[in-house]
Every structure is written in C-alpha cells, then in structure tokens.
C-alpha cells in the first residue's frame, strides 16, 4: 500500500471512530420504560428523542405527535425561531386536542427535557430542526412510527 493511500485510510478510520465517539451515549439504558420516571435522565430522553417515543415511552400519545412535540420543544431549547401559534394550530388540525394540551403537555414538556441537557443542541440536531420545523408550520407532520 502506498504511503498516501495508507494515510487516507487512517484518516477515514479516524473520522469514523471520531463520529462514533461523538454519537449520543445512552449509558446502560435499554430503551424501554424510562420516560415514565419521575425524573427523566438526560440519556433516557436523548435515546427516545433519537429513536422515537414508542410503546410505554409514548406515554399514551401517538408516537408521531411525540416526534413533533419533541422537535418543537427542541427548537425552543436550541434557539430555532418558529411561529409557535401557527405550529400549535397545525397540531390541533392534525391531532385534535386543544392549544393548552399541545403547548404544556407537549412542547413545553419536551423543551424542559432538552433544556436539562447542556449538550443537547448538537449540530446534527440543529440541522434536523431547521429542516423539519418549516414543514410543521405548513401542517406537514411525517409519519415515522
């Protein structure tokens, strides 16, 4: 193997290893039941933010609604501006309930969870928010679960 090829291979391996090290660390959490805790740990919230609020961790709500709430709450935490009143109106059209339910039990709950973690607003999450928030404001809520 030529020196330049070997250097490129080492750089690629280093980059891949670095990316894996920067990925969220969920600790020993296995992905079930943590959202029902009185005090939700940051690693538990991150796990479900990244992989979905499903099963008992959806807390009785549609997992796709939890996805929308979590992103709108994260936008608040990460300083991504959006028209909250419009987004809530779109949530009501899609998922029913009232504004108070979507704001307090949904968006504000998720904002509090993400705000509790000073490392939450990663570049990847901010980029995702910039992509999905405008769609939410138009009433386009993806069915991911």
Model confidence at 20: pLDDT above 70: no
Higher-scoring residue by pLDDT: 112, 13: 112
- 79-123 pLDDT, tens digit each: 999 999 999 999 999 999 999 999 999 999 999 999 999 999 999
Whole-number Å distance between alpha carbons of 107 and 66: 9
Q: pLDDT by residue (tens digit) across 22-73?
A: 456 676 666 666 676 777 888 889 988 999 888 777 777 899 999 999 999 9
> Residues, the chain, total?
145
For the chain, the C-alpha Rg in angstroms (whole number) is 18
| Cβ proximity of 69 and 102 under 8 Å | yes
Q: What is the pLDDT of residue 10?
A: 42
Q: Identify the pLDDT of residue 56.
A: 79
Q: How many angstroms separate the CA atoms of 13 and 19, rounded? A: 10
Query: Can you give the residue ranges of every domain in the chain?
Result: 26-137
Using alpha carbons, list the distances in angstroms from residue 2 to 9, 10, 61, 89: 11, 12, 57, 61
């Amino acid at each position: 193997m030529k020196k330049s090829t070997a250097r490129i291979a080492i750089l690629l391996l280093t980059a891949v290893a670095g990316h894996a090290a920067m990925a969220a660390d969920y600790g020993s959490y296995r992905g079930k039941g943590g959202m029902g805790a009185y005090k939700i740990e940051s690693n538990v919230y991150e796990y479900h933010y990244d992989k979905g609020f499903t099963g008992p961790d959806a807390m009785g709500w549609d997992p796709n609604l939890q996805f929308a709430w979590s992103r709108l709450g994260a936008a608040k935490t990460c300083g991504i501006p959006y028209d909250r009143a419009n987004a809530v109106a779109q949530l009501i059209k899609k998922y029913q309930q009232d504004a108070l339910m979507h704001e307090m039990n949904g968006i504000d709950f998720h904002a509090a969870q993400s705000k509790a973690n000073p490392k939450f607003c990663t570049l990847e999450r901010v980029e995702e928010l910039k992509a999905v928030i405008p769609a939410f404001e138009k009433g386009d809520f993806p069915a991911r679960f």
